[in-house]
Structure 1
Amino acid sequence: MVSNNVPTLEQINIEKPVAAPVILLVDDEASILSSLKRVLRPKGYVVLTAESGAAGLELLKENTVDLIISDMRMPEMTGAQFLKKAKESYPDITRILLTGYSEISATISAINEGGVYHYLQKPWDEQDLLLTIERALEQQFLKKEAARLNALVRKQNEELLTFNARLEKQVQARTEELRQTVLFLEKGQEEIKQNFLTMLKVFSSLIELRSGMLGGQSDRVSALGRRLGKKFQLTEGQIQHLGIAGLLHAIGKIGLPDELIRKPQEKMTGEESRMFMNHAVKGHMVLTPLASFGEISEFILHQHERYDGRGLPSGIAGDQIPLGSRILALARDFEALRSGAIAAQPLPLEKAIQVIKSQSGIRYDPSVVEAFVALVNEEDSLLREKSREVKSRDLEAGMKLAEDLRTGEGVLLIVKDSVLTQNNIQQIRKFEQLEDISLQISITIEEKKN
């Protein structure tokens, strides 16, 4: 039996269906059918009648029915048998049985086999009959509505799964597109950076030609400065600025007289020495318009300051001197000692190191000297293991330059770390033939292709 606690459509805020419910009445007595129709007519239901179970089944085939009310006692096919057949063919239709007091066992069978929603005893109470029918139809509608909503949810879930799958593919495609864009931009940025550094090296070569420095000296000052910067755990940006300052440290020499820039420093008079060191101020002035070169120009400006405070142009001492300038001063003088720019003759490695160490705490920061000595020892062994000198006739495509390739006058031909192509090799050999010279070519052993 149905519980009287079943909520109404109004209680669950669902509107009743617009179409009138269809009720099938099945009874072999015409008077019973007439009485039921009289009770139901005021409610606006669509009422179908059948005087046998077989006739009721035929009507079910031809009409959409919401509720069946069947008498129990009928000839040929009982109400229980009829409702069982109706359940088998039309399980969604709600079924109500009319029965008498003497038919309890048959009623129980009908409830079990026919899936009866409710049964009413004869004679029925009209209010009880109408209330039972109303509740049965409401429950019928709720079942249909639940089935409709479940179907709608399943459909929406399927659409959502399809949408999510499509969206995921779009996201993956967009992500891949962005990844490719980032790689393209990174490659472009790296090319711009390499072109910029190559341009600086070319410019430093022009400075060296004008100032009488050995070819590649500024590049070696730059490399040594960067390695010392790493020893002091400077930021990547500061290390890059040190490298650029090394390449451009002699830019102010362009404006010096020829006889001065080609004269060893130990042979200069006091006035000449001051005039020479003033190139740092001129270099600073040249770079001032470049806002991004602010730190670089400061390193260059103070490169001739001394740790003891007796340097130029500001006479500052110790930690007052920018660390980049302290590093640049040592790297610059080490290369000058090795090239003969300070003394009349170039000094061998050990002698140059001794001179640097002897000026610790005087010209140079002791901590920079200490890092330099350790670094020279490390780098010396590494260079012997990783590079070798070759003649142009022994070059092969795929070899990697360990040092910049320059002419005897210091003009840059190919930058360090370039991987040689067959065209590069042909150009090198043609240049040697035209100039009647033999270039010094250093290649990285690990990069040689077999």
Structure 2
Amino acid sequence: MDDEPSILNALRRLLRLNGITTLQATSGREGLDLLKAHEVDLVISDMRMPEMDGARFLELVKEHDPRIMRVLLTGYSDMESTIAAINQGSIHRYLAKPWDDQELLLAVRDALGRRQLERENARLARLTEEQNLLLRDANAQLENRVAARTAELSQINDMLEASYQDLDDSLHASFRVLSNLIDLRHNESGHSSRVAEMSREVARELGLSERETRDIYLAALVHDIGKNGYPDAMLTKAVSAYSPKEMQRHHRHPLDGETALMSFQHLGAVARIVRQHHERIDGKGFPDGLSGADICIGAKIVAAASDLDQLQHGSLGDQRHDAESACQLVFTGADTRYDRRVVETLIKVWTRMESAARSDVQIDVRDLQVGTVLARDLVSSTGAVLLAAGYVFDEKIVRQVTSYATRQGVQMSLWIRRESVNA
């Protein structure tokens, strides 16, 4: 802006020749009107102007739009006012008159370049904000999808766990049925169940994993399944009374037991325990003559637990032993027949279980309550284990047990854990 047409023409010519579009005004008011009607990047104003000087005009330009670059053309006599305009921030640069065309073009290009950078920065800032909003929305949608998928997976996992638990419960029930059939066939009421309980507690005491403990418990329930093929005559004899031929048959029963369990493909560890439960630490056992570390820990546990129970209740020898004598016999077999650590743990566990059993309470079946815990196996009149020790009675089973006693017309007593009475 300038009030002299010759200066305006010179500026217009110079700038247009360099591809710069210009607007012209001869007064401050006319210049302000142009700013209201057009988008402008740079204003060049002469200092000496009618109505208002260039410094004041550029100050008003700044108020209108501070982003507009402002250049002041001034003479040396106007230097004081120019310095004041610079200090007030009204101008970005000043050029002395008469100007040098190259210096003027350089100043204009610099100002327009800065304005373009500001515009680009603003565009990028808007773009960044838009992208951030989109990203925020995308993240929110992703979080919602992840939350929904997580909930779905959690539900599926719960269903799988419930199904697995059902299968596991069914497996345990099947093995308990097998255990009852084995004990009925051998006329050894509750032997397999007692061995399984002791073996499980020993495994826990030794710090074995939940899976290992489960396999040991299942193997103990059916460890004598290979004996089901024995002739009746063998089942009525003590092992010490077997003939050489019967002893050969006896030595083969762990292999028969393993074979019987082969249909349970995911229970290879159980079958292995059944096969090895007559092996000895000193290598004099059967069927494979394994020794020491070659015998799995489950087989070591079941072997000691089974012999301890049979010494007291079964047919391991020609006479039954009291508890103290049975424990002493098993202990003397440490490091030869049995694993010492297993034996020491077994006796500790057996002592604890016997101590707990002395506090058990015997009740009539008609006094059975929901939530009570069975302390000893519930055995039928034929010797079958109906419910294993440790079972927690629910309403359905209370009705079934009561109904069973009524149908059979018998007085039935149950041993339950004292702490569960009226709990």
- Sort the TM-score into its range (normalised by shorter chain): 0.7 to 0.9
- Paired amino acid for 2:109: E
Deviation at 1:78, TM superposition (A): 1.6
Per the alignment, residue 361 of structure 2 pairs with: 388
Contact 2:188 2:314 in 1 (8 A): no
The match for 1:46 among 3, 14, 21 is 21
Aligned: 1:331 with 2:305 = yes
Q: Aligned-pair distance for 1:355? A: 4.3
CA–CA separation in structure 2 for the residues paired with 1:375 and 1:277: 29
Number of equivalenced pairs: 423
Q: Where does residue 372 of structure 2 map in the other structure? A: 399
The code of the aligned residue for 2:131 comes to Q
Q: CA deviation at 1:201?
A: 0.7
Which range moved further: 226-235 or 89-98?
Answer: 226-235
Please identify, of 190-199 and 333-342, the stretch whose mean Cα deviation from structure 2 is larger.
333-342
Shift of 1:369: 3.8
TM normalised by structure 2 equals 0.86
- 2:23 alignment partner, SS class: strand
Counterpart residue number, 1:356: 330
Tell me the amino acid that sits aligned with residue 148 of structure 1.
R
**SS at 1:47 equivalent:** coil
- How far is the alpha carbon of 1:306 from its aligned partner? 5.6
How many Å separate the matches in 1 of 2:407 and 2:296? 47
Find the counterpart in structure 1 of residue 400 from structure 2: 427
For residue 423 of structure 1, report the CA deviation from its aligned partner. 2.7
Q: Which moved more, 1:277-286 or 1:38-47?
A: 277-286
Structure 1 residues 313-359: Cα deviation after superposition (integer angstroms, max 9, x where no partner): 45666666655444333322322233243467754423433443465
What is the CA distance between 1:180 and its match in structure 2? Answer: 3.8
Seen in structure 2, the aligned counterparts of structure 1 residues 307 and 108 have a Cα distance that, compared at 3 Å, is closer
Pairwise CA distance, 1:311? 5.2
**Sequence identity of aligned pairs in percent?**
37
> Within the alignment, does 1:226 sit opposite 2:200 as a pair?
yes
Deviates more, 1:75-84 or 1:124-133: 124-133
1:37 & 1:366 partners in 2: Cα distance?
109
- Name the SS for the 2:22 alignment partner: strand
Could you tell me which residue of structure 2 aligns to residue 103 of structure 1?
78
Q: 2:351 aligns with which of 357, 377, 382?
A: 377
Question: Is the partner of 1:46 in helix, strand or coil?
Answer: coil
Normalising by structure 1, we get a TM-score of 0.82
Mapped to 2, the partners of 1:132 and 1:326 lie a distance apart of 96
Pick closer, same or farther for the CA change 1:105–1:180 going to 2, 3 Å.
same
Residue of 153, 172, 196 corresponding to 1:178 = 153
Out of 257, 260, 270, the residue aligned to residue 286 of structure 1 is 260
Deviations 1:138-191 (A, max 9, x none): 122122222222232233334334433443444344334434433332333233
Q: How far apart are 1:389 and its partner, in Å? A: 2.6
CA gap of 1:436–1:259, structure 2 versus 1, over 3 A, is farther
Does residue 258 in structure 1 map to residue 228 in structure 2?
Answer: no
Unpaired stretches in structure 2, ≥5 consecutive residues: none
Say if 2:185 and 2:228, in contact at 8 Å, map to a contact too. yes
> Hey, what's the Cα distance between the residues in 2 that align with 1:293 and 1:363?
26
Q: Is the CA contact 2:55–2:90 (under 8 Å) kept in the aligned structure 1?
A: no
Judged with a 3 Å threshold, the aligned counterparts in structure 2 of structure 1 residues 151 and 258 are, in CA distance, closer, same or farther, namely same
Uncovered stretches (5+) of structure 1, i.e. residues with no partner: 1-25
Q: Is the Cα–Cα contact under 8 Å of residues 400 and 417 in structure 1 kept in the other structure?
A: yes
Write the distance in 2 (CA, Å) between the matches of 1:443 and 1:87.
95
Aligned counterpart in structure 2 of residue 156 of structure 1, from 116, 127, 131: 131
The answer (yes or no) to whether the contact 2:193–2:388 under 8 Å persists in 1 is: no
- The answer to whether the aligner puts 1:240 opposite 2:214 as a matched pair is yes
Selected match of 1:119 from 94, 98, 102: 94
Q: Tell me, in whole angstroms, the C-alpha distance in 2 between the residues paired with 1:341 and 1:27.
A: 127
Alpha-carbon offset, residue 218 of structure 1: 0.7
Task: Give 1:199 deviation, angstroms.
Answer: 0.8
Supply the RMSD in Å over aligned alpha carbons: 3.1
Given that 2:72 and 2:95 are in contact with CA atoms closer than 8 Å, whether structure 1 keeps it comes out as: yes
What secondary structure does 1:119 align onto? strand
CA separation of 1:86/1:197 partners in 2, compared to 1, >3 Å: closer, same or farther?
same
* Paired amino acid for 2:234: L
> Is 2:38 aligned against 1:63?
yes
Using the TM superposition, give the Cα deviation of residue 202 of structure 1 relative to its aligned residue in structure 2, in angstroms. Answer: 0.7
d(CA) in 1 for partners of 2:81, 2:110? 24
1:196 is displaced (CA, Å) by 0.7
SS of the residue 1:68 aligns to: strand
Distance in 2 of aligned mates of 1:314 and 1:261: 24
Alignment-mate amino acid for residue 153 of structure 1:
T
